[in-house]
Amino acid sequence: MKTRWRRLLLPIALLLLAASAGCGPFGGGDSGNEDLPTAGASAEIVKYEGEPSRAIPFVYTTAEEVALTFNGLSDADTMRELLDELDRYKIQATFFIPGMRAAEEPDLVNEIASRGHEIENNTLSRSDMTRLSYEQTYKEIHLANRVIEEQTGIAPKYLRTKSGDYTDDVRLAAAQEGMEAVVVYSLFLHNWQEESEQEKYLYLRKYMTRGGVVAIDTEEFKAVVDVIPLIAKAAEDVGYRLVRLDELVGQGGERKPLEQIPGYDAVQMNENYKDARYRMIDKADTGGKKVVALTFDDWGTDYTINRILRILDQYRVKATFFVRAKGVEGNPNLARAILEKGHDVANHSYSHPVVTSLTAEELQQDLVKAHQVITEAIQEQPTMLFRPPTGEVDDYTAKVIAAVGLPDIALYDVTALDWDSSNSAEDIVNSVMKQTGPGSVILLHMLDDIHTLEALPVILERLQEQGYTFDTMSHMIGLEP
C-alpha cells in the first residue's frame, strides 16, 4: 500500500519540485518534500565552465550498424506491443524516457530495461529547452536523471531533448551532470501521409546510413508498432544491424579536426594558373599487359554503394571512387568504409558542376572545399586525382585545376553511359566489353536506381575470363602517393 501511494503522489510532488526549480508550469515556491530527489533543486546553480558534452547526430564508425532509438513514452498497451515487435525481430533499442513518465510508470520503464533495451534521459517534462534559463535547463536534466535512477537503478549517460534540438546551455548542463553526450539523430521519422508500404520502405532504405541514429517519438508517431518490420527489412537489405546506442558509440571513434590531418592543405587556392602544367589521363601504358582500372563516379545511398563494395570484394577487385563531396559531407562513414576496403577515394568536385562553366575562382573554391570535406571524412589525404563531372574539360580549365594541387586529371576511354537508367544491364555490359583493352580506364557510376549493380558482376566475370586483372587507377598510372 505504501508503494502504491508513493507512486500516486510522486508525479504531483515532482511537479511541485520542478515548479520550485523554475522548470514547471506553476512558478516559484518550495516543495518542502524531503523524501524526493531534491539535491540541486534549491541550491543556486552556477553555470558550468568546462568542456560541454559532445553532440552526436551519428557515430563515426565503419561498423555496419545503426542505432534505433525512441523518445517519450506512449500508453502502456502501445509500449508493450512495441516491445513485443522488437522482440519478434530480435532488436535491442534505446529509449529516451522523460523523468515525469518514469515517475508515473516505473514498472513499464523497468520492463523496457528488463527486455534488454537501453534507458536514457529525455529531460524531466520534455519542455522546449531553447526557452529555458541555464538553471532551468540544468534542473530539467538533473531531476530526470535522479528520477530515472531512483526508479530503475540506471544512471543515464545520454540526453536527448524532445525535438532533438539543443543549445550551448543544454550541452554545458549535460556535462555538469557528467553525461557523455547530447544525442540528436540522422533520421527522425514523422507521421506518414498517404505513402504506400513500398514508398515507406524505400524511404527508410534511402536514409539507413552506417553509424546512423534513427529516432521515433512513441507519443507522436502513430504507426510506431507497424513501422518496426519496415525498419528491420530496410536495415537487413542495406546490410546493417540495428543496435542500442551505447553499443554503436562503443564501436565508434573521434574524428580528428581537419587541420590535424596531414595533407588537408594539399589543395589550395592559386591565382597563378596560366602556366600550370597538367596531364590528362584516359588510359595507361601497360606494355600490352591486360590490366585495367575500374572507376566509379558521383555518390549514392548506403544500399547502392555497399552492394558495389560487396561485389568488388567477391571478385577481389580494387577500384577508384571519384566521390561527390557534397554527398560525402552528409555521410562520411560511407566514404571511410570505401577507403578501408582498399579502394582509391578521389575528388569529383563538391557540387558536381560542369567545370568549364565556372570562373577560375569558383572552380578552385569548389575543388578546395571538396578536398577538405573528403579529407575530414576519410581522415587522411585522398588520392590526388581529379575527375571533372561529365568529363568536360579544356586547356584553360585544366590549368586552373592543376594550379590548386591536382595536376593529374582523370578521364577514361571506356564509358557505358550507365548513369542513364534507360540503358539496361545488358547494354552496359556490351558497351564495356566492346571498348575495353589493356590499360583501359572504365567509367561506371555509383548512383541509385540505375542498372550498374546488375551489370557489374557480369563485367567482372567476363573480363577476368578474358585474362584481365584490375588495379586502382592511381597505381596503374604510377601516381606517387
Measured distance CA(381)–CA(258) in Å, rounded:
10
How would you write the pLDDT of the chain (481 residues) with one tens digit per residue?
A: 434 444 444 554 455 445 544 444 323 333 333 343 444 445 688 999 999 999 999 999 999 999 999 999 999 999 999 999 999 999 999 999 999 999 999 999 999 999 999 999 999 999 999 999 999 999 999 999 999 999 999 999 999 999 999 999 999 999 999 999 999 999 999 999 999 999 999 999 999 999 999 999 999 999 999 999 999 999 999 999 999 999 999 989 889 999 999 999 999 999 999 999 999 999 999 999 999 999 999 999 999 999 999 999 999 999 999 999 999 999 999 999 999 999 999 999 999 999 999 999 999 999 999 999 999 999 999 999 999 999 999 999 999 999 999 999 999 999 999 999 999 999 999 999 999 999 999 999 999 999 999 999 999 999 999 999 999 999 999 996 6
Give the three cell numbers for residue 104. Answer: 508515473
User: SS3 for 96?
Assistant: strand
Give the single-character DSSP code of 254: P
Domains of the chain: 43-251 (3.20.20.370), 260-476 (3.20.20.370)
pTM: 0.89
Spatial separation of the C-alpha atoms in residues 479 and 472, rounded to whole Å: 10
CA 359 to chain centre: 33
Q: Nearest 5°: CA angle at 362, between 359 and 363?
A: 85
What was the pLDDT predicted at 42? 55
CB 406 within 8 A of CB 386: yes
What values do phi and psi take at 397, rounded to 5? -65, -35
Place of cell 553532440: 55
pLDDT score, position 44:
81
For residues 123 and 98, give the distance between their C-alpha atoms in angstroms, rounded to a whole number.
5
Q: What is the DSSP string of 184-252?
A: --SEEEPPP-S--HHHHHHHHHHT--TTBEEEEETTT-TTTTTHHHHHHHHHHHHT-EEE-HHHHHHH-
Which 8-state DSSP code applies to residue 121? Answer: E
CA-based nearest residue to 28, from 109, 133, 129 = 133
- The candidate with the shortest Cα–Cα distance to 411, out of 440, 368, 446, 434, is 440
